[in-house]
Structure 1
Amino acid sequence: MPWYTLLVLLTAAERLAELAVARRNAAWSLARGGTESGRGHYPAMVLLHTALLAGCLLEPAVADRPFVPALGWPMLAVVLAAQGLRWWCISTLGHRWNTRVIVVPGLSLVTGGPYRWLRHPNYAAVVAEGAALPLVHSAWLTALCFTGLNLALLSVRIRCEESALDASAAALR
């Protein structure tokens, strides 16, 4: 299990890197007149993602979950693919990417990179990683709880984003 602990800690470090990028990008957006939406659900999102990482570490230890190679290795591949997709989204959006919903007026919708095929590819990465990371080490309860709560939270988040983007697009017309 030490290698799994390292994987979860590396994922936590990646999240901290995301927050640093998001903080820089938020400053860029706000300096250009960006407005933030959805502040109310943001703390729940942070708590849920923190709980995912904690559950990944706790459940295998407390419930004595084994590493099952037939499940663990494919789930590790999903986790790595999700990370690749997440950073593709971040690089495609550039300064516009954020963990918060901040829309800068006058900017057109991004339709390149993974946004060519999916409206919200970053959330596809979040869903995949949230299910797969715990399952790397058979933490099925963490995977189930995170997935259910995350889907509920994403329904709020995506509506918030769509509303903010629609308002921005209407202002352009």
Structure 2
Amino acid sequence: MSWYSLLVLAVAAERVAELVVARRNAAWTLARAGVERGRGHYPVMVVLHTGLLVCCLLEPVLADRPFLPALGWPMLGAAVLAQALRWWCIATLGPYWNTRVIVVPGARLVGGGPYRFLRHPNYLAVVVEIAALPLVHSAWLTATVFSVANAVLLGVRVRCENAVLAQAVPA
């Protein structure tokens, strides 16, 4: 197994860790009268992120994509930075972070951590990761297709979250 395959599997394991945190946080928010929004797009998001990881493994093999150090190493750095930003978001939001859109009525907006600089920093991490992870091993087709699909999905997701956040108490 190549080091790139191990990297993709490590990202998959990280996703499982995210889902464990999300499940715990969902129970916490739902116990506080949290309401889920955007259920319709969530399965699409799961398919997109799962498909990304599968295609990251398949394209380099099936299309005989080489590792190009001048591209691969910077993209690895970008992917690692995206993971760091994602976990900064998770730590900042604490029990309010989730892979689903669940809002607790009367909750205050979070204005610390990366949210001081961006309204949706987690999605910056997602955008960077979807572009960078495949390009670590020259999987440009995967990077392109999933980046475009993610842009469409994020349009739906961000509208959903913004509608929910508009009802939150300012920080």
After TM superposition, the score normalised by the length of structure 2 is 0.98
Displacement of 1:60: 0.2
Aligned equivalents of 1:105 and 1:111: distance in 2? Answer: 17
Secondary structure of the residue aligned to 1:105 is coil
Secondary structure of the residue aligned to 2:40 is coil
Spell out, residue by residue over 1:67-96, the C-alpha distance to the aligned partner (whole angstroms, 9 max, x if none): 000000000000000000000000000000
In percent, how many aligned pairs have the same letter? 70
CA contact (8 A) 2:109 2:168 kept: no
Displacement of 1:131: 0.1
1:71 counterpart residue number: 71
2:24 counterpart residue number: 24
CA RMSD in angstroms comes to 1.0
Instruction: Give, as a single letter, the amino acid of the residue that structure 2 aligns with 1:46.
Output: V
Displacement of 1:117: 0.1
Spell out, residue by residue over 1:96-120, the C-alpha distance to the aligned partner (whole angstroms, 9 max, x if none): 0000000011111000000000000
Runs of 4+, deviation exceeding 4 Å: none
2:55 counterpart residue number: 55
Secondary structure of the residue aligned to 1:90 is helix
Secondary structure of the residue aligned to 2:157 is helix
Q: Does 1:150 align with 2:160?
A: no
Displacement of 1:167: 2.9
1:40 counterpart residue number: 40
Secondary structure of the residue aligned to 2:118 is coil
Instruction: Give, as a single letter, the amino acid of the residue that structure 1 aligns with 2:99.
Output: T
- In structure 2, stretches of 5+ residues that fail to align are none
1:159 counterpart residue number: 159
Instruction: Give, as a single letter, the amino acid of the residue that structure 1 aligns with 2:8.
Output: V
Displacement of 1:10: 0.1
Aligned equivalents of 1:145 and 1:167: distance in 2? Answer: 34
Instruction: Give, as a single letter, the amino acid of the residue that structure 2 aligns with 1:84.
Output: A
Aligned equivalents of 1:70 and 1:28: distance in 2? Answer: 45
After TM superposition, the score normalised by the length of structure 1 is 0.96
